[in-house]
Amino acid sequence: MSASNPFLQPVQEPLLDNKLAVSFKVLLGLYLIIPLSIVVYIIDQYYWGNYLKSILPSRPEHFIIFQILFGTPHIIASAIMLTSNKEYFQFYKVKLLVMTSLITLLFGIGSLFIPYMVLYVTAACWTVYHVFKQQHGIAKGVCRLPDWAFCWLLWMSVSAGIFIYIGVFLKNSLGVQETEWVKMIAFVLVAGLILSSILCQRHIQTTFGKCFMWSNTLLIVSSFYMYTQQYYFLAILIPRLVHDATAYVFYVTHDYNKHHLNPQNALFKYAKHCRLHVFIVLPLFSFALAFVLQAYGDEWVNMITRFFFDSEIRKTVTLGIIGYLSLMHYYTEAFTWQAGSPLRKYIRFSK
């Protein structure tokens, strides 16, 4: 999830009967992945003899289980939510069609002329921006930072995150000198983020708000440290887990408030018939679909193309379809949770 400020409507919204609220304490609790990862790192360093480091993949997508558990499911969940509720699809259909056309032009037709590395870095920057815009957007509702401080911390985080991302995912494509430059730039940006956080915390009136701000800062700091220690899997896992889990908190809260008394689409009507609780419908369906698409999607498409056309299309599902859904997710999450959105009326907050 990401937005210009989708989560930052006043916390004191009118409370409706039987409405579930998004708890800021629960959202803050998700950042416990940071100390837990540090503990795992220390145990591996001093007790396991770097065994964990040796077996973890250097790039998360080397393990299909990573893609099945992180990233893809919440992207699919977002698409399901938007398309399975007819009123949402109708409300946003023009934006969806326009963005689909732009993605097709840039990453489809454009890939014939634009270097792959340019497209990759573009998608990487958008991914990092999407992840940290969500987390900082939520924190602003608690921290009440001035706009300039919010923007400064956000862009420091995004800038540092981009270089960490590049350092992890393009490390095999970078030369020794380029790798050192990436690390140095990331270090300067991380140091600047820490200093900025120290200066900005005086604008936050509550301890809870300061904890939220520093949690976002530590999200970058811990990821950078794991990157420098070559724990690449943990470097990506830390922000990815916080981001995805936060998204599901919003999705499940929305679904409960919209469908728990009177299911309003086919998915939840069928789930009620099967006696599935509203809480597990979207996570269960999205994780199952992510598994099927990641594990078997390309193989099934190739079986069909071999049968009809005696040829194969590489990574049609894992790169084409899931890539499209990812880019659409980054786009739609920027407005689907804003005030005035049909989704937003099913979300309220509590501390």
Residue 5 is predicted with a pLDDT of 46
List b or e across 209-231, with b for residues whose CB sees 16 or more CB atoms inside 10 angstroms: bbebbbbbbbbbbbbbbbbeeeb
Q: Give me the percent of the chain exceeding a pLDDT of 90.
A: 47
Q: What is the mean pLDDT of the chain?
A: 86
pLDDT at residue 12 above 50? Answer: no
* pLDDT confidence of residue 220: 96
Compute the C-alpha angle 269/273/274, nearest 5°.
120
Q: Within 13 A of 46's CA, how many CA atoms are on the CB side?
A: 6
Which range has highest mean pLDDT (48-52, 184-188, 320-324)?
184-188
Per the model's pLDDT, the better-predicted residue between 233 and 9 turns out to be: 233
Share of the chain above pLDDT 70, in %: 90
Q: Supply the pLDDT for residue 114.
A: 80
The structure's pTM equals 0.87
Residue 324 and residue 107: Cα distance in Å, rounded? 9
Amino acid sitting at position 84: S
Does the pLDDT of residue 173 top 70, yes or no? yes
Question: Could you tell me which residues come within 8 angstroms of residue 276 by beta carbon, excluding any fewer than 6 positions away?
Answer: 284
Position with higher pLDDT, 192 vs 173? 192
The DSSP code for 274 is: T
Please report which confidence band the pLDDT of residue 122 belongs to, taking 50, 70 and 90 as the band edges.
confident
Q: Which residues pair with 23 in a beta bridge?
A: 350
Of 45-49, 126-130, 176-180, 308-312, least confident by mean pLDDT is 308-312
Strands (E), the chain: 22-23, 349-350
Burial class (CB in 10 A: 0-12, 13-18, 19+), 163: buried
Q: Which residues pair with 350 in a beta bridge?
A: 23
Q: What is the mean pLDDT of residues 176-205?
A: 94
Residue 22 forms beta bridges with which residues?
A: 349
Q: In this predicted model, what pLDDT tens digit does every residue of 36-47 receive, in sequence order?
A: 999 999 999 999
Residue 304 confidence class, pLDDT cut points 50, 70, 90: confident
The yes-or-no verdict on residue 4 having pLDDT over 70 is no
The pLDDT, as a whole number, for residue 60 is 55
Q: Interhelix angle for 207-228 vs 116-143, to 10°? A: 150
More confident residue, 44 or 140: 44
pLDDT at 286: 92
pLDDT in tens, 240-290: 999 999 999 999 999 999 998 888 888 888 888 888 888 899 999 999 998
Output 6 or 148, whichever has higher pLDDT.
Answer: 148
Mean pLDDT of 92-105: 90
